[in-house]
Amino acid sequence: MKNLQVPFKGPKIFGKMLNRLFEEDTSEINRELPFAALLFTILAASEVALYESWRKLCSIDHLPMFQKEAKEVVRQVEVLGYDPLTVMQKRAEKTKSKSYREFLMGYVSAVRSGGNIVNYLKSKLRSIFEIQSAAAIRSIERLGTLVEAYAVMLIVTLCSYILFIVFSATSIFEPMKATGTPGISTPVVCLLIFLLTPLISVVFMVVAHLERKSNLVGLKRPYQVALIAGVAACCLLALIFMAPQLQYLTSPQILPLVVTACLLTISIPAAGVYIDIARVNNAAENAIPSFLRDVTEARKTGLSPEKSIVHAAKRPGYGKFAEVLALIRSQMEWGVPLRKIFGSIKRKIQTWPVLVNFLILVETIKMGGGSSVALEILTEYSEKQKDVETNKKSLLRPYVILAFIWSVLIALTTTMVALTVYTLTQLSLPGSAPMPLVVMQEQMNLFSLGILLQCWLSGFFVGKVNEGTFAAGFKYSAMLVLTAHVSLALSQSLLSSMFGLVS
């Protein structure tokens, strides 16, 4: 009977799922921790009580994990009657994040010992920033490894293309077929090209999505435009294959061009929408440290916080972000409340760090009067954060060049091997039979479609790795599919002329 007992693995699997959930929560807490610590530091420098800082976090939607934490702290204080320090110590014992645990325990210890809270928070904020910078570098290394693995997958795909070309062009499988052994057929190759390889690319995209987070929030317009264009492109392809008058567009010489046009139809409009959005948000990310520095320096001269913001918004050189600052300046001159101004900023700006910095600036002014010390803390952290993001983008930029290299190589190599094998089969070689030109053209058509689709999907992978959002992939996919099509057309034309074939 002992041999019939099968161990039940359900709890183990469920435990792994829970651990994965905890890991994701930990990553989100670590991502929001610098901003929450910054808010605590600024409010403490403005002499705002500890409990009021937690209450303020309850209303900040842009820090969802800490908003949840703050609501739990407030619930235990107001409903269960605990004091804030006891609740913070309990939350420190339950959290899975080491950085968050150390932050809470150090905060509690500093308050109970009567130490300088602002100095402790400044020191801890500096430590959190250093940890975040090291984590960013490690993330770039992992992304680099992921891109290298993706390149290896493309090389394996190219090898499979080459093997099929060689095997289908010769009679090497004829003895195997005579014995009943299945060979490589066109349906199997279609599954490889149009199902298996894209599925592997999707898996890599999912891994990149888990590793690289986007700073843009609520980004929907590029996907909506792409969906409409995608439906139109699919309808066009269906019409081409179903209408007898359009059958000439399915010929091996024209179909790759038609598919390229359809893929560009999907990508180009969405890429245009994304570029307009990214231009404003990138300008905001680059300009927010300078804007906060101007506000801080104006505040040090004795200007009120509101007049300091108006003064800083008048400075030229902010690019597309100047339009947002002009809106802020006009609303402040008309006496619009700061919270309403922040609501108008959210309709213009979608980058998460800029929104949080603006929110902290507003709350600092509303609750603490916007002291120069508090604004100096906010400005210093914003400048350091910009340096981290700039370093990350510069280190990830070479992977874009790598994508164009593999697009050209996979197109050139496949064409060269196909035409070389076709030319060799025209000779009287043992074990080979002449391949008809029509068969070679059909094979090139099949592989060309597969290469175009693969390069188009690679654009989304590159966009996610380089800019953190799949919406950036529309512009990369358009460039990569155009590069692949031009490479295929030029290589087929030049090599056909070299081998004396019809282009």
CB-based contact 369:45 (threshold 8 Å): no
C-alpha to C-alpha distance for 481 and 404, rounded to whole angstroms: 10
CA 252 – CA 184 distance, rounded (Å): 21
- Structure token digits, residue 149: 């693995």
Let me know: does 422 contact 414? Beta carbons within 8 Å: no
Buried-exposed string 466-489: b where 16+ CB fall within 10 A, e elsewhere? bbbbbbbbbbbbbbbbbbbbebbb
Strands (E), 97-175: none
Q: DSSP code of 194?
A: I
Torsion of CA 387, 391, 393, 397, to 10 degrees: 160
Q: How far apart are CA 337 and CA 369, in angstroms?
A: 14
**pLDDT tens digits for 132-188?**
778 888 888 888 888 888 988 888 888 877 777 777 665 554 554 444 444 456 677
Question: How far is CA 410 from each of CA 253, 396, 439, 449, 454, rounded to the nearest angstrom?
Answer: 19, 22, 21, 12, 10
Centre a 10 Å sphere on the Cβ of residue 37 and count the other Cβ atoms it contains: 24
- The one-character DSSP state at 426 is T
What are the tokens at 35?
């901003």
Q: Strand, helix or coil at 488? A: helix
Start-to-end CA distance of the chain, whole Å, equals: 73
Give the integer Cα–Cα distance in Å for 27 and 427.
Answer: 62
What does the chain come to in residues? 503
107's enclosing H/E stretch is helix 98-113
- Give yes or no for a contact between 278 and 219, defined as CB atoms under 8 angstroms apart: no
Side chain identity at residue 115, one-letter code: G
Q: Where are the domains of the chain?
A: 2-115, 139-211+399-499, 216-250+263-396
- The answer to whether the beta carbons of residues 147 and 402 sit under 8 Å apart is yes
C-beta of residue 410 within 8 angstroms of C-beta of residue 451? yes
Q: Which helix (H) or strand (E) holds 169?
A: helix 117-169
CA distances from 255 to 104, 192, 287, 458 (A): 62, 19, 47, 21
Written as tens digits, the pLDDT of the chain (503 aa) is 334 333 334 444 334 433 443 444 677 888 888 888 888 888 888 777 778 888 888 888 888 888 888 888 889 888 888 888 888 888 888 888 888 888 888 888 888 887 788 888 888 888 888 887 788 888 888 888 888 889 888 888 888 777 777 776 655 545 544 444 444 566 777 888 888 888 989 999 999 988 888 888 888 999 999 999 999 999 988 888 888 887 787 887 788 899 999 999 999 999 999 999 999 898 888 888 888 888 888 888 888 888 888 888 888 878 888 888 888 888 888 888 887 888 888 888 888 888 888 888 888 787 766 677 778 888 888 888 888 888 888 888 888 888 888 888 888 888 888 777 777 776 655 555 566 667 777 778 888 888 899 999 999 999 999 888 999 999 999 999 999 999 888 888 887 777 665 54
The span from the CA of 64 to the CA of 212, in Å, is 18
Give the residue among 238, 147, 101 at the shortest CA–CA distance from 465.
147
Q: Report the half-sphere exposure of 67 (CA within 13 A, side-chain side).
A: 7
Cα dihedral across residues 409, 414, 417, 418: positive or negative:
negative
Dist. CA 131–CA 30, nearest whole Å: 10
What is the model's pLDDT at position 137?
81
